Structure formats: structure tokens, C-alpha cells
A and B are shown apart, each in its own frame.
Chain A
Amino acid sequence: MSTPKQLKVANKDAVRGLGIKLLIGLPISGLFWTIIFYFFVSNESWNFKILLFFSIFGIFLGGGSIINFAFGSSVYQLWHKLISLIDSIIVWLFLPFFYYLVFFPYSLALRLTGKSKFNQKKIKTSSYWREIDNSKNNKRYLQQF
């Protein structure tokens, strides 16, 4: 039932857009790390090498992508591979974590208090048909429930 990952097709605009984001984004990340380092690792001197490193990286990848499309599309592909990697880590690591540690205890509690309809004792009944609530006004049709 899950959607297969759609292959991102690199077009000129998308590649250029990513180039600009890298050109601006990587130096900002560099600055951020520089600050982190200053306060948490060595609070004596600013280590601007980190900023420089990130910036060169950003200029190289971002600038390169803007100038050369072929280079840009490989950066684009790589970037999206990274994204799908992060995506799968979140999905396959965090979701199971969440399911067992948060969702399961909560549902257990609900089940014990009799809120879950799937675990209620079968009541002897002569019909499984349910009444449909027809007190709808037309506004209901703009709602998603």
C-alpha cells in the first residue's frame, strides 16, 4: 500500500534551485557549527576553519551546480539520495521506536479501559447492521470526516 519512491527527474530549474540553496545553506551550517564549537568545545578561540570548510564546500557544490548542468544534476541526484537515506532512517528507526514505546502502552491502557472496539467482548445480538446518523447539514460535505 505504500507508494514506491518516485524517481526525481532533474530539470534545469530544480538543479539551479538546489545550487542556490547549497551556496547559501552550507555556509550558514558552517557558521552554526563554528558557534557550537566556540561555546561547547573550545571556548577560547573561534575556529573559523569550520566555516571556511563548509563555505568552500558550498561554493564548490552550489556554484558548480549553477554553472554546469551536468555537474549540477549529479549533485542533485546525490542530494536526493541523502534525503531518502534520512527519510528511511526516520521511518525505519523512529516509527518502530514510537510504535513500541508510545503507541503500544497507550493502546494497552485504552484496551484495558474498554475504549477499543476491536477488543470488546462480542455482545449477543440479532443483527450487525448499524443505524446511520442522518442529521447532517450540508456543511459536513466541506469537512474531511
Chain B
Amino acid sequence: MIKEKKDFQKLTEKSEQSGLILELFSMLKHNKKWWLTPIVLVLLLFGLLIILGGSTYAPFIYTLF
């Protein structure tokens, strides 16, 4: 019992949380939904734009173009 209890604890201690991109693609791979890839990619780019658009730096960036 005690040995196994350590298993999950150990797993969380030695593991890092995967980043968003890796997670998304592992999901698509796991669920065999490759056909979602292009739309996920484009949405991620959009995400970047939206995050920048909502940041303190947004007005600077938009004076740049």
C-alpha cells in the first residue's frame, strides 16, 4: 500500500506540467482528431493576438503599425 501511495506522489514530484501546445497536440493525437490541427493552429495565433491586444503594451504595438 505504502509503496504504491508513493507512486503518484513521486510522479507528480518528478513531472512538469506540459505546455499548452504540446498538450493540445497530444490530445489531437490521442483522440485521432488530426483534422482539427489547422483550426487549432490558427486559433492559437489568434490567441496570441488577443493576449497582446489586452496587455499593457497593446497601445505601443498598435502605434507600430
Direct contact of A and B (CB under 8 A): yes
Interface majority SS on A: helix, strand, loop or mixed?
helix
- Is B2 located at the chain interface by the 8 A CB criterion? no
Q: Find out whether the CB atom of B11 lies under 8 angstroms from the CB atom of A138.
A: yes
Min Cβ gap B58→A in Å is 5
Q: Find out whether the CB atom of A95 lies under 8 angstroms from the CB atom of B55.
A: no
* Residues from chain A with Cβ under 8 Å of B50 in the complex: 87, 90-91
- Is B64 located at the chain interface by the 8 A CB criterion? yes
A145's contact among B30, B35, B54, by CB below 8 Å, is which?
B30
Please give me the 7 A-B residue pairs with the lowest Cβ-Cβ distance, nearest first.
Answer: A145-B27, A90-B53, A29-B63, A87-B54, A86-B58, A25-B60, A82-B59
Q: Find out whether the CB atom of A83 lies under 8 angstroms from the CB atom of B56.
A: yes
Q: Find out whether the CB atom of A29 lies under 8 angstroms from the CB atom of B64.
A: yes
Which range contains the number of A residues in contact with the other chain?
20 to 34
A83-B27 in contact given A90-B50, A103-B39 (Cβ < 8 Å): no
Min Cβ gap A39→B in Å is 14
- Is A102 located at the chain interface by the 8 A CB criterion? yes
Instruction: Tally chain B residues at the interface, Cβ within 8 Å.
Output: 30
Min Cβ gap B56→A in Å is 7
Which residues in B have some Cβ–Cβ distance to A below 8 Å?
7-8, 11-12, 15, 17-18, 23, 26-27, 30-31, 35, 38-39, 42, 46, 49-50, 53-60, 62-64
- Is A60 located at the chain interface by the 8 A CB criterion? no
A21-B56 in contact given A94-B46, A138-B11, A145-B23 (Cβ < 8 Å): yes
Q: Find out whether the CB atom of A94 lies under 8 angstroms from the CB atom of B64.
A: no
Q: Measured between alpha carbons, how far is A98 from B43 in the docked complex, in Å?
A: 9
Q: Which A103-145 residues sit within 8 Å CB-CB of chain B?
A: 103, 106, 110, 113, 115, 138-139, 141-145
Q: Find out whether the CB atom of A29 lies under 8 angstroms from the CB atom of B60.
A: yes
Q: Measured between alpha carbons, how far is A21 from B57 in the docked complex, in Å?
A: 9
